[in-house]
Amino acid sequence: MSVHEREDRALRLQRVAELLAEAVTPQEVLDAVLTEGVRAAEARAGAIGVLSDDGESIELLAQQGYTGPIMDEWHRFPLDAGLPMSQVVRTGEPIFISTVIERNELFPELSQRGQEGSALAVLPLAVEGRVFGAMALSFGDEVEFGLERREMKVALARQASQALARSRLYAQEHTLRQRMTFLAEASELLSSSLDYNLTLKQLTQLAVPGLADWCAIDMAGEHGEIVRLAVAHEDPEKVRWAYELQERYPPKPDDRFGVPQVLRSGEPEFLPEIPDEIIEEAIGDDEELRLIVDQLGLRSMICVPLSARGRTLGALTLIAAETHPTYTQADFELALELAGRAAVAVDNARLYGEAEKGANAAQALAHIADGVVLLDKEGVVRHWNPAAAAITGVDEARALGKPVDEVVSAWGALTSHVPLAKPGASGVRPVTVPLVLDGRELWVAVSGVDFGEGTVYALQDVTDERALEKTRSDFVATASHELRTPLAAVYGAVRTLRREDVELSDEYRMTFLEMIESEALRLSHIVDQILLAGQLDADAVELSLSECNPAEIAAGVIESASVHLPEGISLSLSADGASSIMCDENKLRQVLVNLLDNAIKYSPDGGKVGIRLEQTGGTCQIEVADEGLGIPHSEREKIFEKFYRLDPQQTKGVGGSGLGLYICRELVERMDGRLSVESEPGVGSRFTVALPARR
């Protein structure tokens, strides 16, 4: 070898070294080695393979100068194969083969490969004594590998080794940094909102294209169905297509691979290279689907469960297809880490949602007016809201966790007549039952729902409503009694008058006709009074207040009464110094007519009956006094009650509904006044209407 040749070779090596120094990524290193390196070695073609992660096979990373589909054919082959590269990686020793005969002897597997590249140099790629791959250089025909040639090739391989190792380390670091960054971004995203539907969607978008060509998240539905939450691909058009595809070919929960399997088992699935049989099984006979799958070019898949607290909530799927390299163990671990974080986020969001719902429900129950009691299957109190505490008189602390019969001894009596409804049943009517608690008499409306894991009761204290209802029904009953007597008189008189078997005297006939007239009037009056009392009860009486002169009203009432005045009664009016008042003129007149009627009626032996007006301070007092029978002490307040009659015997003719004084007091009070009575039996009575005077 001439000096010139040596210099030339050194220069070429120098040139390769410079290029390699500039190369940063593994691809750049491979490019430099396979172009300048191959040229420097005077080889016709070159290829570089590295040991796989699992150390069991060799992956061909790149080639230059070979013809035919070498990358497809040899892209991965076993470490123990009878091939030159396998042997070099196994032994760490270079191989130099000069002829095709030699090659075929050493590597019978290659004997069918023809003459191409028959002279061969295969050199180990190693750093710090550790072999991580091999570089193959093929030459034209026979080549004599002299010492210098060999040294040159070994030097080239050494340079390539260092550059490649450095670049791979760099790439690894870069990938690691990327992953860390990705995980950090993903974590931030997941913790940014409690709306996990949204964050998981964003997560899939974050994963493409850095981590996958396709990224999908599916959730396990409540009834075992698979709910696709999100699919991401760099190309939005493809995302739409993926959704269409999902709709046309929905995953079946019992599928043996992929999401259904992961959701079922809770175990991850990692297919660095998706085996053909899985794809075939998925496609079946569907030619259209085959076309689609071919187009997708699925290569590598990771499907990991989103699991939290022992439950599989969903699955995260990463797919390498058209651009992403096949997945490695590191990718799988990253996916597991990512899924773990996503699952925690989903679980937290759901827990928060449930807790919030629970808190809202508790708040609602704390403020609802109905008592709500929750019992478990054993009848132990699990919830006891403040209203339940108020109704039963037992506070929550004394009730929770105890058998309900111990909490309220009358519980059995309270609920034994309450039919238990099923959840969601409509028309659940509460049953109203009496209850005696610590001497208190209550009426409680109770309804109950059996929801399988226990019973929930709603209690309503209807004691007041019940009392009101009783008052109303008493009113109706009493009102009907009041109507029956005059009705009996009218009906009886007519029936008697129409008797043909008895000859009635003219005097009797006249008496019966008068009876019909007066009792009919009495009926009409009672009906009016009942109506008015009902309106007063319902607070439906409208007053029209205006400025009136009470003296004029009193004078009018006296004048009307004087028309049919019974014998022995003398009327008087004293209205000195009375000024105007604000009142409903008609209502005040009604009150005075009633009081004056009573005064006359209860003076069967005659006497003075008078109205006297007097103004004291801001009050106008209207007194109606008589010298009649008077009212016993014990009866003085009762006479203002509905249907109370002091002495019905005296109530002849019109009136006597038992409502008159009740109505008077109610009307006066509605005009901001007071109605009171002073009386002495046998001496007389004085009713006083006190109304605010107008200033």
List residues binding another protein (CB under 8 A): 477, 480-482, 484-485, 487-493, 495-496, 499, 501-502, 504, 508, 511, 515, 519, 645, 647-649, 652
Comparison of 618 and 632: residue with beta carbon closer to another protein: 632
Bridge partners (DSSP) listed for residue 506:
none
Q: What minimum distance in Å lies between the beta carbon of 604 and another protein?
A: 13
Maximum Cα–Cα distance across the chain: 174
Residue 105 — φ and ψ, nearest 5°? -70, -45
Residue with smaller CB distance to another protein, 77 or 643: 643
Q: How far is the CB of 475 from another protein (least distance, A)?
A: 14
Distance of closest approach, residue 442 Cβ to another protein, in angstroms:
24
Q: Residue 320 or 515: which CB sits closer to another protein? A: 515
Question: Least distance in Å: CB of 426 to another protein?
Answer: 34
Q: How many CB atoms lie within 10 A of CB 114?
A: 10
Nearest CA-CA partner of 575 in 632, 639, 620, 532: 620
Please, are residues 581 and 550 in contact by the beta-carbon 8 Å criterion? yes
CB of 641 to another protein, least distance (A): 16
CB of 680 to another protein, least distance (A): 20
Q: Is 348 left (phi over 0), alpha (psi -120 to 50) or beta?
A: alpha
Q: Which is nearer to another protein, 84 or 486 (CB)?
A: 486
Identify whether the C-beta of residue 605 lies closer than 8 Å to the C-beta of residue 568.
Answer: yes
| Residues 657, 669: Cα–Cα separation, whole Å | 20
Q: Is the CB of 243 or the CB of 508 nearer to another protein? A: 508
Helix, strand, coil % over all residues of the chain, rounded to 5: 45, 25, 30
**Across the beta sheet with 311-320, what order do the strands follow?**
226-232, 214-220, 311-320, 300-308, 269-271
Give least dist CB 484 to another protein, A: 4
Contact 153, 123 (CB under 8 A): yes
Q: Which residue type does 407 have?
A: V
How is residue 327 annotated by DSSP? P
Cα dihedral angle (78, 80, 81, 84), rounded to 10 degrees? 110
The smaller minimum CB distance to another protein, of residues 347 and 635, is found at 635
Minimal distance in Å, beta carbon 490 to another protein?
8
108/566 with CB nearer another protein: 566
Residue 600 has which token pair? Answer: 């006359």
Query: What is the Cα–Cα distance from 118 to 586, expressed in whole angstroms?
Result: 132
Question: Nearer to another protein by C-beta: 68 or 632?
Answer: 632
Minimal distance, residue 454 CB to another protein, in Å: 41
Question: Is the CB of 1 or the CB of 504 nearer to another protein?
Answer: 504
Residue 471 and residue 536: Cα distance in Å, rounded? 14
